[in-house]
Amino acid sequence: MVQTVLVVDFGGQYNQLIARRVREANVYCELVSFEKIREKIAETDPIGLVFTGGPASFNEPGAPRIDADILDMGIPVLGICYGCQLIAGTLGGAVGNGPREYGRRTLDVTERGSKLFAGVAEKSACWMSHTVYIEKLPRGFVTSATTETCPVAAMENADKKLYGVQFHPEVMHTEEGFKILKNFLYEVCGATGEWTMSGYVERTVAELKAKIGGKKALCALSGGVDSAVAAALVHRACPDLVCIFVDHGLLRKGEAEEVVRVFRDGQGMDLIAVDAGERFLKKLEGVTEPERKRKIIGEEFIRVFEAEAKKIGKVDYLVQGTIYPDVIESGLDHSATIKSHHNVGGLPDVVDFKELVEPLRLLFKDEVRRLGFELGLPEAIVMRQPFPGPGLAIRIIGDITADKLEILRDADFILRDEIAKNRLDREIWQYFAALTDIRTVGVMGDERTYDYTVMIRAVTSADGMTADWARIPYDVLQNISDRIVNEVKHVNRVAYDITSKPPATIELE
């Protein structure tokens, strides 16, 4: 069993980020609800606990609490923000209201011998976000860092391996944050850095071999990162894996060919590629309403997959590219449906299989990408930006035709080319062209034109939940616009979408 740290969730906004940072430090961790803390400790025998921040205030009724004996099990604990106040309050310290402290502060390390601050500069910038303060330390604790406005910016009881920080070590703005987190993991918890992608491949392939062995496994490839990496990983353990790739004809230029090239030729997989473009176009004829498009594509996708899967017959295992944020969110997500997202999630009902295999279930997206490289997948697949299941259908406003698809593919290709040439691809989260249903008058040569407007969308984001429009330099926009109107027939105008999310969404439909 891999050394495990439990990141105990008290509802703070940076919880997944803390877990990602721990993993980045090569230590495996799981995010668990504070309500499950006791059973998860019994189940995983953790080397340490990290208590996250949270929106509650320790003294208010209903604030999440833990039993004091959790802090007396000999397991090292690092409490962050609310987690720090929780340790103080639970062990008999006092927590009280103070002036709101939000943003950058200078952290002064006062306890130079502290393991938590080993090698950390005496003064550095840290990020604060709290209104509640530790007024009195619990017995056995000392203050190990302060800021001008926060008398207990960090506290510790080194004998009991209990540490608390009022600031957020997980965010970028805390200069020494990652070092502090690593100190906790390595100096206090005794981590040995077992969590690496090569180790993960080795362990998972061995497990999958033992489990799947010579049995039959099936995977739906979408061309996206997750299903690609899941398939490549399972393929290592099970060379007889069969992959079905449904090409709905709504992919970007060259994408379908790339999937076939990479998986059939490159990875040597048994790949069934179904060219269903015409079938989808027929179903979508005259459909303009975004949700209807999504529903039709989702259902049709399932039907095509089902027909192919039936030819294969009963399989033992169905491989899916579920990743850790999906797992976390399906446990916490009560938010309203804004768009009905279509993924391959509906498949289990239509495939005759014994068991689901989800080899990425424990991985964050950045880990999935690292794993993809480890498995020898090309950058074009591994670094692929998010692409919606319904594909270009929701990037064409109004009805979808083969001609419009071609216009959009060509315009999008130029955009991608220019972004890559200008090395903006790593800083922009997602960028694409959309075809509006607006036609306007233009003039080309001496001739009047009456053609389409292409809209460019490019956003920066951390997770797709909120986004800002990317500040692409004007001269790059100029090139993109020039090339599109010159190289793509039936386009005479290019617009740049400068709306953030919210209030807009990233996709246009």
Q: Rank residues 426 and 448 by Cβ distance to ligand XMP and give the closer one.
A: 426
Does 161 help bind ligand XMP (rule: CB under 6 A)?
no
Does 341 help bind ligand XMP (rule: CB under 6 A)?
yes
The single residue among 46, 54, 138, 389 that binds ligand XMP, judged by CB under 6 A, is: 389
Cβ partners under 8 Å of residue 486, min gap 6: none
Q: Rank residues 294 and 409 by Cβ distance to ligand XMP and give the closer one.
A: 294
Does 292 help bind ligand XMP (rule: CB under 6 A)?
no
Residues 299-331 as b/e (b if ≥16 CB within 10 A, e otherwise) read ebbbebbeebbeeeeebbbbbbbbbbbbbbeee
Stretch that binds ligand XMP, among 71-79, 239-247, 301-309, 341-349 (CB under 6 A): 341-349
Instruction: Tell me, yes or no, if 130 is annotated catalytic.
Output: no
Instruction: Tell me, yes or no, if 490 is annotated catalytic.
Output: no
Does 326 help bind ligand XMP (rule: CB under 6 A)?
no
Does 365 help bind ligand XMP (rule: CB under 6 A)?
no
CA distances from 256 to 30, 31, 219, 343 (A): 36, 36, 16, 17
Restricting to residues 490-509, which ones interact with ligand XMP according to CB under 6 A?
Answer: 501, 505-507
Stretch that binds ligand XMP, among 64-72, 162-170, 387-395, 443-451 (CB under 6 A): 387-395
Q: Rank residues 478 and 505 by Cβ distance to ligand XMP and give the closer one.
A: 505
Cβ partners under 8 Å of residue 439, min gap 6: 450, 451, 452, 453
The H or E element containing residue 372 is helix 365-374
- The gap from C-alpha 108 to its chain's centroid, in whole angstroms, comes to 34
Spatial contact of 487 and 414, defined as CB atoms under 8 Å apart: yes
Catalytic residue among 170, 300, 308, 507: 170
DSSP string across 64-116: ----GGGGGSS--EEEETHHHHHHHHHTT-EEEEEEEEEEEEEEEE--TT-GG
Catalytic residue among 30, 150, 156, 168: 168
Q: Find the shortest distance in angstroms from Cβ 400 to ligand XMP.
A: 15
Q: Rank residues 135 and 497 by Cβ distance to ligand XMP and give the closer one.
A: 497
Q: Rank residues 372 and 391 by Cβ distance to ligand XMP and give the closer one.
A: 391
Q: Phi then psi for 496, rounded to 5 degrees?
A: -110, 125
Does 322 help bind ligand XMP (rule: CB under 6 A)?
no
Q: Find the shortest distance in angstroms from Cβ 200 to ligand XMP.
A: 24
Sign of CA dihedral 412, 478, 429, 334: negative
The single residue among 339, 365, 439, 490 that binds ligand XMP, judged by CB under 6 A, is: 339
Cβ partners under 8 Å of residue 327, min gap 6: 361, 362
Q: Checking phi first, is residue 448 left (phi over 0); if not, alpha (psi -120 to 50) or beta?
A: beta
Cα gap 88→239, rounded to integer Å: 54
Q: Find the shortest distance in angstroms from Cβ 387 to ligand XMP.
A: 6
Cα gap 85→463, rounded to integer Å: 29
Instruction: Tell me, yes or no, if 194 is annotated catalytic.
Output: no
Q: Rank residues 130 and 342 by Cβ distance to ligand XMP and give the closer one.
A: 342
CB atoms within 10 A of CB 50: 30
Amino acid residing at 200 = Y
Q: Rank residues 156 and 326 by Cβ distance to ligand XMP and give the closer one.
A: 326
Does 226 help bind ligand XMP (rule: CB under 6 A)?
no
Binding mask 395-434 for ligand XMP (x = CB under 6 A): -----------------------------------x----
Amino acid residing at 417 = D
Does 320 help bind ligand XMP (rule: CB under 6 A)?
no
Does 342 help bind ligand XMP (rule: CB under 6 A)?
yes
Restricting to residues 455-474, which ones interact with ligand XMP according to CB under 6 A?
Answer: 464
User: Which residues would be at the binding site for ligand XMP (CB under 6 A)?
Assistant: 294, 339, 341-343, 386, 388-390, 430, 464, 501, 505-507
Write out the catalytic residue numbers. Answer: 81, 168, 170
